[in-house]
Amino acid sequence: MGNEPLDSTIKEAFSEIYRDLDKLVFIANNANIFNQMEVSRIEKSIKQNIKAIEYLIVSQKPNSSR
C-alpha cells in the first residue's frame, strides 16, 4: 500500500493539533497575561498543520479531468 507514509504524516499532524488544543484548554483554564505569546505560537502551529493536511489530501487525489 503506497499511502502508508501519507497516512503516517497525517496522523502525526493530527496528533500535534490535538496536543496544541490541549495546551490551549489548559491556558484558558489558567488564564495569565504571559500566556499570550504561547497562544499565538499554538495558533500558528495548528494552522500550519491543517494546511499541511489539506495539501497532502489534495495532492493525493487522482486527476479527475482525464
Please, are residues 10 and 42 in contact by the beta-carbon 8 Å criterion?
no
C-alpha cell at 64: 479527475
The tens digit of pLDDT for each residue in 20-54 reads 999 888 888 887 767 788 888 889 999 999 999 89
Of residues 3 and 51, which shows the higher confidence score?
51
SS3 1: coil
